[in-house]
Amino acid sequence: MQKKVASKKSTALAVVDDKSMEALREFYPVETGYQAILLPRLSFVSQDKTEESGTGKNKKITVVTAAGTFFTERQGENEVENAEGKMVKEWLKEEIGESIEGIILYNRKQLKYYDQKTEEFTSSPVYDTEDEVIPLWKDKVEVARGTPKELKAKYQYTDAEGKVKTRLEENRILYILYEGEVHQLNLRGSSMFSFLTWSKKLMPPAYLTEMSSEPMQKGDIAWNKMTFTVVRPLTKKEMEDVIAKGKEIKTGIAIQKAAFASNTAEVIKADKKFNDF
């Protein structure tokens, strides 16, 4: 039950004044980590989520969440037991609908890989530039360290068609101002490439953007790909608020990176002292 976009906003772009655009460029990464703050999240269901009931001829498959549905997720006050038996604050999920409108303030990157055979996750911190030296973690243990390019090379393989690929998938992390609050949205696959193609044409923080989706099909696989459409340029007051928010985000990232680097240096120093003993 793939959902279709009900309507499209105009893609015509109004001119944003040069002074405001220059201020936006100071913080928005045109080309594209560590993050201690747990922002509320925006999530997107790319494929139908179903439930089975009954057996044999009476077996029924019911779509409980349709592809193309957006949700908000935020950390609540109550604690629940996680898979490791630890008590953690629960995440509360609320359905939004088939589309949302917000301002894309910032975008970052993260490397991820899920091994289906071992059911293990490998991931990096969130990072910003290709020259950063970052660690890779698997099961909370560092397994490699290097630039994104170097790390991807460690996980290269050749597919059935003879193409060289990497198992480390590059995801995008968007910071979106939604209903007056900064949310985090993780993008991967076709939705991520949809964003990258769209964002090359404009400066995203200068516009109110509609995020919706469109159905896709490849063989027997059906899914919804996110789409991005300009609703309108921001007003002068909105632009001032966005510039302030963007500078706050950039300052926060710098502080977090400095703290992370300092902590890493202390660990290396302690390891060296131990090894020299």
Question: pLDDT, tens digit, for every residue of 133-177?
Answer: 999 999 889 999 999 999 999 999 999 889 999 999 999 999 999
Please name the helix (run of DSSP H) or strand (run of DSSP E) that holds residue 101, with its range, or none.
strand 100-115
β-pairing, 164-166 with 141-146? unpaired
pLDDT of residue 25: 75
pLDDT of residue 59: 77
Closest CA to 171 of 232, 225, 110, 245: 110
Burial of residue 218, with CB atoms counted within 10 A of its CB: 0-12 exposed, 13-18 middle, 19 or more buried = exposed
β-pairing, 141-146 with 134-138? antiparallel
Orientation angle between helical segments 236-276 and 18-25, nearest 10 degrees:
20
CA distance 146 to 155: 13
Please list the ranges in the chain whose pLDDT falls under 50. Answer: 3-7, 31-36, 267-277
CA distance 23 to 240: 9
Burial of residue 126, with CB atoms counted within 10 A of its CB: 0-12 exposed, 13-18 middle, 19 or more buried = buried
Helices (H) and strands (E) in the chain, counts: 4, 15
Q: Would you kindly state where each structural domain of the chain is located, as residue ranges?
A: 62-79+89-271
Q: Are 156 and 164 in contact (CB under 8 A)?
A: yes
Q: Are 136 and 144 in contact (CB under 8 A)?
A: yes
Q: Which residues are CB-neighbours of 207 under 8 A, at least 6 positions away?
A: 13, 103, 230, 231, 232, 233, 234
pLDDT of residue 277: 30
Q: Which position has the token pair 């990157």?
A: 109
The one-character DSSP state at 56 is: G
Closest CA to 202 of 8, 14, 10, 9: 14
